[in-house]
Amino acid sequence: MKLALAQLNYHVGNFESNTEHIIKHIKKAKQNGADLVVFAELCICGYPARDFLEFSEFINQCEIAAQKIAVECIDIACIIGLPIPNHKTEGKDLNNSAYFIENGKVKAIVNKALLPNYDIFDEYRYFEPSTEFNCIEFKGKRIALTICEDLWNTIENPLYITRPMDTLITQNPDVMINIAASPFAYNHDEERIEILKDNASRYKLPLFYVNHVGAQTELIFDGGSLVFDKTGKLVDELPYFEECLTYYTLDDNGEISFDHTSTVKAERESDIAQIHDALILGIRDYFHKSGFSRAILGLSGGIDSAVVCALAAEALGPENVMAVLLPSKFSSDHSIKDAVDLVDNLGCMSETIAIKSITEAFETALHPQFKDLPFNIAEENIQSRSRAILLMAMCNKFGYILLNTSNKSEAAVGYGTLYGDMCGGISVIGDVYKTQVFELARYINRDSEIIPENSIIKPPSAELRPGQKDSDSLPEYDILDQVLAQYIEHRKSANEIIGMGFEETTVHRAIKLINLAEHKRYQTPPILRVSPKAFGMGRRMPIVGKYLQ
């Protein structure tokens, strides 16, 4: 049996595009002699469809698309993922399903059993878990077909009380196929490989795994589809962050052969390299799938906006990136020069709009209310909000999307201005700690200096008052980021973090700032997710809670 694995980029709710893309690859696989071509989980509608799934018309469109695809499956079979109605009276209205299509008809339906309901996942909100498991007969082979999480219950601390493969293995399958929608996080590729390797060696069967690639708003899917032999050895690893169609032959002894060169990596890519590639894909797909092409951002000369500008130029092309310098009376000459040097290095568009007269106009208008009160955060935030007004005006006038340049460290502790530097259409580095931003800058400069060296080495500053430095308000980032990671990503308590050797005052202060800033994070743009625990849809905290404050 010759299998083709189709690792493709889908668009949520874009049935015409998704269907055409799938049919195109069915035809290509057929031309190359494949017996079966395998697509990803919920490929028909895209993942995650979220509350689109509550519209009956949406579900009907999925079935219409599936039937169009079935017509193309003559002399070739395919596996596709889609939501279908649950016709049982009991339970949720839908199943997360896979169709096995052969000779123009749906030959078998497999429903997902283990429905993730943690972090970014909320599948049990929509789907009913399956309790029936059966293999599929095809070309003299018996296929154990599962959907994503159905193979993820082999870990030491299982989330579920059943393992679908424990039932399927009693039916003597010859091969396992798993279709998935597994989002990117910088540590997820290793975890994914270990889980699937364990399945292949546990059940002593070859395993073919197909994942999505592409971004859906804040979620990024990295591809990295995998093939394991029956001993659990990883024999092929599809490229990350790009589409791919590959072919394999499974013989009667369960041995796998293929013509292309295996891309199994001897050494994993560094976290920063993966984050870089994920953010490029995240920016590109956010714009392409939203129907926009041009980005704008405020360029300060600091490292955060420099990194975002460089990423956007790579993702969209420098000709589609507008960098706006918005100097105030507190902006240093070297910051302006650093920003100009970056624009020259990238070749992107740029404009300069001084905000001194604008902020002075606001201060004059407010003088009857402020009277002779000393300069403080109110005047600082006027500067930031003045910049946001100008950037958003250019968005409205010229059709740009504003890129938010706040990093995860700032977002965590609320070091930003609501309706000022926290505004934007998409937050590019909102899941990247400040220390990682420095690493990203070095990675971007790996072949030549793109981001000016001075933007990297100078002390971080918002430049909203004379001589201001981030360290005036926050602990040093190399300490702060470690505390943040332990609390946010590892869910450690203050006492546990202090027990690791961190200074008690710093820990309590950081955690208090995180919790007090929750109301700000509720009002920020979507954040491209690159870590195991990002702010946004995967981290749900009360705004008015008192815990750990």
Say if residues 282 and 316 touch (Cβ distance below 8 Å).
Answer: no
Please say if 41 is a catalytic residue: yes
Structure tokens belonging to residue 348? 């992107």
Backbone angles phi, psi at 82, to 5 degrees: -165, 160
Please say if 92 is a catalytic residue: no
Give the helix/strand (H/E) hosting 393: helix 377-398
Please say if 434 is a catalytic residue: no
| The one catalytic residue among 112, 230, 289, 492 | 112
Structure tokens belonging to residue 340? 């100009």
Please give the Cα distance from 349 to 394 (Å, whole number): 13
Give the strand pairing for 234-237 and 226-228.
Answer: antiparallel
Please give the Cα distance from 42 to 126 (Å, whole number): 13
Please give the Cα distance from 218 to 340 (Å, whole number): 30
Q: Residue 70 CA to chain centroid, in angstroms? A: 31
Backbone angles phi, psi at 433, to 5 degrees: -65, 155
Structure tokens belonging to residue 190? 């290793």
Say if residues 72 and 20 touch (Cβ distance below 8 Å).
Answer: no
| The one catalytic residue among 45, 62, 73, 148 | 148
| The one catalytic residue among 2, 30, 41, 463 | 41
Q: Which residues of 156-185 are buried (b: 16+ CB within 10 A; e: fewer)?
A: eeeeeebbbbebbbeeebbbbbbbbbbbbb
Would you mind telling me the total number of residues written for the chain in this entry?
549
Backbone angles phi, psi at 324, to 5 degrees: -110, 120
Task: Give 290-316 as a DSSP string.
Answer: HT---EEEE--SSHHHHHHHHHHHHHH
Q: Which residue has the tokens 């082979």?
A: 141
Kindly state the greatest CA–CA separation across the chain.
87
Say if residues 113 and 129 touch (Cβ distance below 8 Å).
Answer: yes
Write the burial class of residue 499 (CB in 10 Å: 0-12 exposed, 13-18 middle, 19+ buried).
Answer: exposed
Residues in contact with 28: Cβ distance below 8 Å, sequence separation at least 6, in sequence order: 245
Please give the Cα distance from 212 to 39 (Å, whole number): 8
Q: Which residues are catalytic?
A: 41, 112, 148
